[in-house]
Amino acid sequence: MSERVSNRVFDTVNIILLAVFVLICLAPFFHIIAISFSSNRAVTSGDVTLFPVEFSLQAYQSVFSDSSMIRSLGFTVMLTLLTTVMCMIMTIIAAYPLTKKKLKGRKFFMFIIIVTMFFSGGIIPEYILVKDLNLLNTIWSLVLPGLISPFYLIILISFFNGIPESLEEAAEIDGTSQIGTMLRIILPLSLPVIATLSLFYAVGRWNGFQDTLLYITKEELYPLQLKLYQLVQNNMITDLTRNEGPSAGIRAATESLKAASVVFATVPILIVYPWLQRYFVSGVMLGAVKG
């Protein structure tokens, strides 16, 4: 009886704590949405907290009527898909052999991969490399340099390691090749982590723009985050812009336009996770196989 009571107490406290944290996580996003629907006056005066003040759709009208934003969204979706698929394939084919303790040279390979987590050549040689490979101003300059994250690779290896070797041995005795084992045994059992890492790669690419600042000068290859960054950053006073003085008639974006752009650039990637969650459920059933 007391067990049941303590269970109920546990559940209630758990739900309340989570609900509070959920609200805290949601509030700033609500704030941004509220700003995007508010008038310029209300925003500059700081009247907007969680609900729109002087409701206005103007910001969204300008976002959606800007064909470069729409085109950029299309490009970003394509770029993210391409990156995610390629990164995932590369990470998987790197991770699987490296789980084999009997693979000779495994530690050496691991070492040279881990070294790259810490040492890098810096932006100048990286730029020269991309330039010499003739990748500047192509989509590949945003895909190839980041194909494998050593960090995600290590995570994938550790998940692969968690799969009982008996399953693989059984397959090998049946005469399945190693690649066959990987495809037919390991991958189906690893859907949750593969979904997770795909999400990580996708979000990383979606949110990343530092490389585009250097490698892309063609507007049709501007990802959404770069446009967003320019919108948010370029109107800010920085050490760089201070010396311009108030000379040029530079059009500054209003706060609500910035907020609407943030929403526009964030919502598409936000819905990826709920969609991926199905793989987390199927993983649970597969987990039972392990016994």
Partner 1 sequence: MSGTVYLRRYWQLYALLVLPLVYFIIFKYGPMWGVQIAFKDFNFFQGITGSEWIGLDAFREVFQTQDFYKTLRNTLMLNLLDLLVSFPAPLILAIMLHELRIRWFKRLSQTILYIPHFISWVIIGGIVYQVFGTQSGMINNVLMALGFESVPFLTDKDTWLITYLATGVWQSAGWGTILYLAALTGINKELYEAAEVDGAGRFKRIRHITLPGLKTTVVTLLIINLGNMIAIGFDRPFVIGNKAVMDYSDVLSTYVYRTGLESGQYTLATVVGLFQAVVGLIFLLGANYASKKLTDESII
Partner 2 sequence: MAASKKTWGKLAKLSLVMLMAGTVVLSGCSSKSGGSTDTSGGSSGSNDGKQVTLKVEIFDRGNTPEPYTITDSYLTRYIQDNFGTPNNIKMEFVPVPRSEEIKKLNVLMASGGDVPDIVFTYDTPTFNRYAEQGGLTELTDLINEHGPNLKAFLDEDAMSYGQYMGKQFAVPGKRAFLGKYSSFIRTDWLDKLGMDVPQTTEELYEVLKAFKEKDPGETGGKVIPFGMTIEPAQYDPLIWSFIQPTTEEQKYTLIQKLGANDYPTLLPGFKDALQFMNKLYNEGLMSRDFSLDEDKKQLTQDVTNGLVGFLTEDYPNLYYADGTYDTLLKNQPDAKLEPVDPFTNSEGKHAKPEYAPNGMYIMIPKTSKHAVEAIKYLNWMAAPENLLALQNGVEGENYEMVDGIPVIKPDAPQDVIDRLYNSGDIAIIANGNFVGDDAQNREKLTTNFPERFQDLHRKAVEIAATDTFKPVNFDRPIESEAKYGTNLQAKYEEMIVKTAMAKPEDFEKTFETTMKDYMVSGGQAILDERTKVYQEMQSK
Give, as ranges, the residues between 143 and 182 that touch partner 2 (CB under 8 A).
none
For residue 286, give Cα distances in angstroms to 38, 163, 172: 48, 11, 20
Q: Rule CB under 8 A: is residue 12 a binding residue for partner 1?
A: no
Shortest separation between residue 213's beta carbon and partner 1, angstroms? 13
Question: Given candidates 41, 100, 131, 184, which one binds partner 1 under the rule CB under 8 A?
Answer: 100
Q: Rule CB under 8 A: is residue 40 a binding residue for partner 2?
A: yes
Alpha-carbon gap, residue 78 to 205, rounded angstroms: 11
Q: Please report, as residue ranges, which positions from 189 to 218 form the binding site for partner 2 (by CB under 8 A).
A: 213-214, 217
Alpha-carbon gap, residue 209 to 265, rounded angstroms: 13
Residue 120 or 217 with smaller CB distance to partner 1: 120
Q: Can you spell out the DSSP letters for 107-150?
A: HHHHHHHHHHHH----HHHHHHHHHHTT-TTSGGGGTGGGS--H
Residue 75 or 229 with smaller CB distance to partner 1: 229
Q: Rule CB under 8 A: is residue 246 a binding residue for partner 1?
A: no
Q: Rule CB under 8 A: is residue 127 a binding residue for partner 2?
A: yes
Shortest separation between residue 206's beta carbon and partner 2, angstroms? 18
Question: Given candidates 240, 271, 284, 285, which one binds partner 2 under the rule CB under 8 A?
Answer: 240
Alpha-carbon gap, residue 209 to 165, rounded angstroms: 41
Q: Is 168:186 a contact under the CB 8 Å cutoff?
A: yes
Alpha-carbon gap, residue 194 to 157, rounded angstroms: 11
Question: Given candidates 1, 67, 101, 102, which one binds partner 1 under the rule CB under 8 A?
Answer: 102
166 CB-side CA count, 13 A: 4
Question: Given candidates 161, 166, 234, 241, which one binds partner 1 under the rule CB under 8 A?
Answer: 161
| Token pair belonging to 111 | 């070492």
Alpha-carbon gap, residue 179 to 170, rounded angstroms: 14
Shortest separation between residue 97's beta carbon and partner 1, angstroms? 4
Q: Please report, as residue ranges, which positions from 24 to 53 form the binding site for partner 1 (by CB under 8 A).
A: 24-26, 28-29, 31-32, 46, 49
Q: Rule CB under 8 A: is residue 173 a binding residue for partner 1?
A: no
Shortest separation between residue 127's beta carbon and partner 2, angstroms? 5
Q: Is 21:13 a contact under the CB 8 Å cutoff?
A: no
Residue 207 or 254 with smaller CB distance to partner 1: 207
